Each structure stands twice: as C-alpha cells, then as structure tokens.
C-alpha cells in the first residue's frame, strides 16, 4: 500500500520533471515557429477557428442560463437592473476563461494529442528526425503556440457571446430596461481588474492545456492503446490543471 | 575500396537485454549490402545505430568518416543530411500531399526557388513511376505506392547512403519486384551506397552485392549472393531455403510437452 503510494508519487514527480525539460526544449525551438509563421497560422486555424462553433454556442447558452438564474435571485431583492453586471462579471472573471479552457482542452487539446501520438505511432516523427528536421521545432512548437494564441481569443469570444445571451434573456425575453442593463454593466466592469485579469487567466490556461496536449502526444508509446490513454490523460490533466490554476490565480487577483 | 559505413565490434543493449554482441561489418562505397536475419535478431537496431538514433554501448561506428556515437546533435543532423532512410511502412506525412511529401526535405534544407523544387519533385516521382499521383494524399495510396513515394522522398536530396528497413514486407509479388529493381537502379544512378535490412531472401539475393547474416546479435555468415546460395553452413542453408528444421529452433523454450498436457504439478 505505502509502496504503491510512494511509487505513484515518484512517478508523478518524474513525469513533471520530464515535462518541465520538454517545456524548456519547446521554448528553445519556438523561434522557428515564428519564423515560419505559416505553420503556426495553420494550427491557429485548426485549434482556434475550428473550435469557434462549440465555444460560441456554449457561451450563448451559459449567458442565457446566467440571465435566467440571475434574474430569479435578483428580483427577490428588487435589483433586477444589476443583472448586466452579474452576467458580465461572472463571465469575464471566471466562467469565460474556465469554461472556454475546459471546452478547448476537450475539443482542441485532445485532437492535438491524438495527432502527434499517431504521427509517432506511424514513425512520421522518427522519419522527420532522420531527415535532420527536429520534430519539436516542426511539429510540436507550432501546435503549442497555435493553442496559446487561440485560447485568450476564444475565452473573450465566449464571454462576449455570454453577455449577449444574458441580454437576450434579461432584456428581450424578460423585459428589463435595456439602458440600465448596459449602463450598470459599463459602470461596474473595470477594464484593468476584470477584463485584463480574465485575459491573463486564459493565457495561463492556454499555456497549460497546450503544453499538456503536446507533451502527452509526444510521450505516447506509439500503440493504439497508448494514444487512447494519452488523449484521455490530456483531457483529465488539463481540466484539473485549469481548475487548480484558476483557484491560485483568483486568490492573487481578487483579494478585495 | 574505401568503406562508407564501418562497424567494429559494436555492442548494444536495451536496459539489461543484450541485443548486439559485437557486430563487425563494412559497406563499401557504391555497393548494395543486405543485412538478413530472423525477426528480433537486431537488424533494425543496427540501422538505428548507423542513423544515430541509438548509441552503442561499445565498439567503433563510422559513417562517411564520422564517428557517429561521439557526434553532438548538430553534427548528427549534418550527417543525416547525407543519408536517408526508408521506413518499413513509408512513414509519409499524412497531412501533406504526395508532392509536398517529396518536396519536404528540399524545402526544409535548401533555399531553392519553388519552380526548381517543382521540377525536381516531378523528376523524383517520375523515377518511381508515380508522376501522375502528385496530388493524391497518402491515405489514397496503396501500400506499394506509399513505399514508392517514400522512396522518392528519401532520394530527394541525393543521399550518399540509403538505408531500407524491410522494404519488401507486406507487398504483392509485382510491387515487390518493382521496389527491388528500383532499389538497385537508384543505388547505381545516384552513385550511392545502400543497406537493405530484410528477411526476404530470394528477392534480395537477386539485387544485392553482399550479404551479412545476423543471428542473436552476431554476424554468423557473410558473402556474395552466389556464395550464400551455395553455402554449406547449416544455419545459412536453413534460412535461405526456409526449412523449418535446423539450427534455428521452431519452438519457443517451454516445459516438456507431457508435463504441460498432464498438468504435472511442480513442487
């Protein structure tokens, strides 16, 4: 029993160490992914643009639900007009970055892991290495930066759609005054404290999800079972990382 | 004649499992050399050592005059630009078309303008008979075609050394003959030297200049194809003529048959 716990702990530490070294290597080779911008743009398309549908639709629904639930609670205290504030703050501070991050991990992160894992299984990475082309520079770095760049934009779009969803429910459906909905929101959402902090969060989540995704893909043992395990691990690890990091970041950012 | 690749008493192990116990062999310039042996005898490992993907535990290994195990990453990449490897199943990049696959090494390693790359790619594809397939994706190719495209990609930068990992595995007789002839022709046309790792004896004996037989991580026999065909060595005889009985056991080591069937309990 103790031995098992110990072995697991050491194993996890070991993986973290390997991942940190991999991250270092990745940063070292990142120059090339900016020199050859076409590769990175392609990955932004695959990770970012193709995730737009799920991000926009989810954002809309989350905002609509927030509108309904918020109105339900606020009307008890007769302060329905702050609904705009409630929806906007919840989204830009928390729900936007976190939910967009979770969706991004399962939509784009898993795809990146599976793609790199299969490239390894079919010896494409080994072939590249034998052609004197570094797979970390050619395959891994562009996918990593594609994810890091896409994530904050997706989170912002998620929040914007969410605010629109809140507006649809609050103003169009329920009939709250449109002027007070927007003016309350404008008055209480601070650019520096709320929006910038939200963007910082989403950048951190973008780095975490992309790093986990490329690492797990690169680290598979190259069998069908290995690729499936790696894909699962990407979603689980990056989701937990997002929630854990969110707690840490929130406790530093919003201390009242 | 000088050797392009030379191994002296090379030893290698994966963890505690010894794979190569002192292999010595030479690949002379311009020659086509086959390394044969049963599955799991260390053939592919040998090729990975030559390509610098693995490092030997002991012994000397020189390729194009460079001591491979002592090279740093940059030196290794410089050396790899002069050699090329054909992987067992081609290892084509599945997200690139046939044309882009063949153009890949040229675009990565040279500053040639796109029209020249286009002409070169078409010449390489023409050499393997697939000029008409330039716009297809790897998923649209048959196994034999994929391997020919991979061959075109491997010769993209006119390497000095070509390595083939099981080039005949899983091919129909026609594709097999085509690939065999291509390997020979390309070797002579490019003035390259080639190593073919294989267990397709009859096909290889028709095209190669020299053969090394590997068993249990050692060279057990060597010679020209004619010497091999007429060899009296029981091991070579069994391998070349595909006999079930001989020095190579058919059965994996196990407890005695009666014991296993009668379920005799061991104390």
Contacts of B92 in chain A (CB under 8 A): 124
Contact B21, B11 (CB under 8 A): yes
CB contact under 8 A, A122 and B109: no
B51 touches chain A (CB under 8 A): yes
User: Which helix (H) or strand (E) element contains residue B109?
Assistant: helix B98-109
Beta strands across the sheet bearing B218-223: B83-86, B161-165, B193-198, B32-36, B210-215, B218-223
Contact between B93 and A124 using a beta-carbon 8 Å cutoff:
yes
Do A60 and A159 form a contact (C-beta atoms < 8 A)?
Answer: no
Strand boundaries in A134-254, DSSP class E? none
Given a contact cutoff of 8 angstroms between Cβ atoms, the answer to whether A242 and A138 are in contact is no
Q: How far apart are CA B168 and CA B260, in angstroms?
A: 38
Chain A positions touching B53 (Cβ under 8 A) are: 126, 129-130
Given CA atoms A239, A244, A248, A251 in this order, what sign does their dihedral have? positive
**pLDDT bucket at A140, cuts 50 / 70 / 90:** very high
Q: Which residue is associated with the tokens 């009859």? A: B202
Query: Judging by beta carbons within 10 Å of its beta carbon (0-12, 13-18, 19+), is residue B37 exposed, middle or buried?
Result: buried
- Residue A246 Cα, gap to closest chain B Cα (Å): 35
Predicted pLDDT at A254: 77
Nearest to B80 among A119, A124, A132 (CB): A132
Chain B (175-214) residues lying within 8 Å, Cβ to Cβ, of chain A: none
For residues B252 and B246, is the Cβ–Cβ distance under 8 A?
no
Q: Is the pTM of this model over 0.90?
A: no
Give the residue from B53, B93, B105, B157 with the most A CB atoms within 10 Å of its CB, the best one to mutate. B93
Please say whether the beta carbons of B211 and B223 come within 8 A: yes
Res. A35: pLDDT tops 50: yes
Q: Which pLDDT tens digits describe chain B residue by residue (267 residues)? A: 578 888 888 888 888 888 888 888 889 988 999 998 877 778 888 888 998 888 888 888 888 888 888 888 888 898 898 899 898 888 899 889 999 999 999 998 888 899 999 999 999 999 888 888 889 999 998 888 898 899 899 988 888 999 998 888 878 888 888 888 888 988 888 888 999 998 888 888 888 999 998 888 888 888 888 888 888 888 788 878 777 766 666 667 788 888 888 876 554
Q: Do A131 and B51 touch (CB under 8 A)?
A: no
**Alpha carbon distance B124, B17 (integer Å):** 41
CA–CA gap between residue A134 and residue A147 (Å, rounded): 20
* Positive/negative CA dihedral, B239, B242, B248, B251: positive
pLDDT at B243: 73
- Shortest distance, CA B185 to any CA of chain A (angstroms): 22
> In the numeric block, which tokens belong to residue A74?
């606020």
> A96 in helix, strand or coil?
helix
The answer to whether A127 contacts B85, with C-beta atoms less than 8 Å apart, is yes
pLDDT of residue B1: 52
Q: Which residue has the tokens 């927007």?
A: A182
For residue A140, the distance in angstroms to the closest alpha carbon of chain B comes to: 14
Any A CB within 8 A of B111 CB:
no
- What does the angle CA A120 – CA A21 – CA B66 come to, to the nearest 5 degrees? 70
The pLDDT of residue B18 is: 83
Taking CB atoms and an 8 Å limit, are B53 and A124 in contact across chains? no
Return the bridge partners of B8, or none: B60
Taking an 8 Å cut-off on Cβ atoms, the answer to whether B53 and A131 are in contact is: no
B170: phi > 0 → left, psi -120 to 50 → alpha, else beta; which? left
Q: Which pLDDT score, from 0 to 100, does residue B231 have? A: 81
| Residue B107 at interface with chain A, using a CB cutoff of 8 Å | no
pLDDT at A29 > cutoff 50: yes
Q: Which residues of A touch B104 (CB under 8 A)?
A: 131, 133
Cβ–Cβ gap A124/B92 under 8 Å: yes
User: A139 with A43: CB under 8 angstroms?
Assistant: no
- For B87, the closest of A118, A127, A132 (CB atoms) is A127
A124 to chain B: closest CA residue: B91
Q: Do residues B69 and B231 make contact, with C-beta atoms less than 8 angstroms apart? A: no
H/E stretch holding B126: helix B114-127
Going from the C-alpha of A142 to that of each of A34, A41, A48, A137, B252, the distances in angstroms are 8, 8, 13, 7, 47
Taking residues A161-190, what's their average pLDDT? 92
**How high is the mean pLDDT of chain A?**
91
Q: Which two tokens stand for residue A60?
A: 């809309």
3-state DSSP assignment of residue B40: coil
Among A118, A132, A227, the strongest candidate for a mutation testing the B interface, having the largest count of B CBs within 10 A, is A132
* A155-170: average pLDDT: 95
Residues of A in contact with B88 (CB under 8 A): 123
Chain A residues whose beta carbon lies within 8 Å of the beta carbon of residue B89: 122-123
Residues of B in contact with A119 (CB under 8 A): 93-94
Q: Is the minimum CB–CB distance between A4 and chain B shorter than 8 Å?
A: no
> Could you give the CA distance from residue B225 to residue B54 in angstroms, rounded to a whole number?
30
Average the pLDDT over A99-118 and give the result. Answer: 94
């Amino acid at each position: 029993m103790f031995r098992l716990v110990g072995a697991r702990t050491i194993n996890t530490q070991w993986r973290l160490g390997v991942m940190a070294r991999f991250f270092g290597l990745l940063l070292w080779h990142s120059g090339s992914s900016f020199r050859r911008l076409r590769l990175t743009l392609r990955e932004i398309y695959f990770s970012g643009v193709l995730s737009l549908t799920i991000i926009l639709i989810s954002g809309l629904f989350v905002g609509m639900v927030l509108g309904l639930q918020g109105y339900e609670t606020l009307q008890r205290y007769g302060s329905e007009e702050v609904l705009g504030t409630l929806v906007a703050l919840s989204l830009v501070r928390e729900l936007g970055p976190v939910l967009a991050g979770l969706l991004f991990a399962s939509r784009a992160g898993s795809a990146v892991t599976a793609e790199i894992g299969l490239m390894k299984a079919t010896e494409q990475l080994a072939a590249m290495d034998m052609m004197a082309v570094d797979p970390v520079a050619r395959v891994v770095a562009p996918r990593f930066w594609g994810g890091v760049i896409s994530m904050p934009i997706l989170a912002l779009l998620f929040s914007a759609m969410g605010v629109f969803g809140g507006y649809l429910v609050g103003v169009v459906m329920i009939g709250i005054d449109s002027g007070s909905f927007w003016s309350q929101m404008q008055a209480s959402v601070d650019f520096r404290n709320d929006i910038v902090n939200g963007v910082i969060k989403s950048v951190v989540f973008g780095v975490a999800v992309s790093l986990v995704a490329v690492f797990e893909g690169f680290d598979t043992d190259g069998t069908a079972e290995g690729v499936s395990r790696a894909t699962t691990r990407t979603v689980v690890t990056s989701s937990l990382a997002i929630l854990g990091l969110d707690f840490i970041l929130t406790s530093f950012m919003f201390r009242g | 004649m000088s050797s392009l690749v030379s191994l002296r008493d090379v030893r290698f192990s994966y963890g505690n499992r010894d794979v190569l116990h002192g292999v010595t062999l030479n690949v002379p310039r311009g020659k086509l050399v086959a390394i044969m042996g049963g599955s799991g005898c260390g053939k592919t490992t040998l090729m990975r050592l030559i390509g610098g993907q693995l490092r030997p535990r002991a012994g000397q290994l020189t390729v194009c005059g460079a001591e491979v195990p002592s090279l740093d990453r940059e030196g290794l990449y410089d050396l790899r630009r002069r050699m090329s490897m054909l992987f067992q199943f081609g290892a084509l990049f599945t997200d690139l078309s046939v044309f882009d696959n063949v153009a890949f090494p040229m675009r990565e390693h040279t500053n040639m303008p796109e029209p020249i790359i286009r002409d070169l790619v078409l010449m390489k594809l023409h050499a393997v008979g697939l000029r008409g397939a330039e716009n297809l994706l790897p998923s649209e190719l048959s196994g034999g075609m994929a391997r020919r495209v991979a061959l075109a990609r491997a010769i993209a930068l006119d390497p000095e050394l070509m390595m083939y990992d099981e080039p005949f595995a899983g091919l129909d007789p026609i594709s097999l003959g085509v690939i065999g002839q291509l390997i020979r022709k390309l070797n002579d046309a490019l003035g390259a030297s080639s190593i073919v790792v294989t267990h397709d004896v009859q096909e290889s004996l028709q095209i190669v200049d020299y053969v090394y037989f590997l068993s249990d991580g050692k060279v057990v026999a060597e010679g020209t194809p004619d010497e091999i065909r007429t060899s009296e060595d029981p091991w070579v005889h069994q391998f070349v003529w595909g006999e079930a009985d001989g020095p190579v056991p058919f059965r994996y080591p196990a407890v005695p048959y009666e014991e296993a069937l009668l379920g005799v309990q061991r104390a």
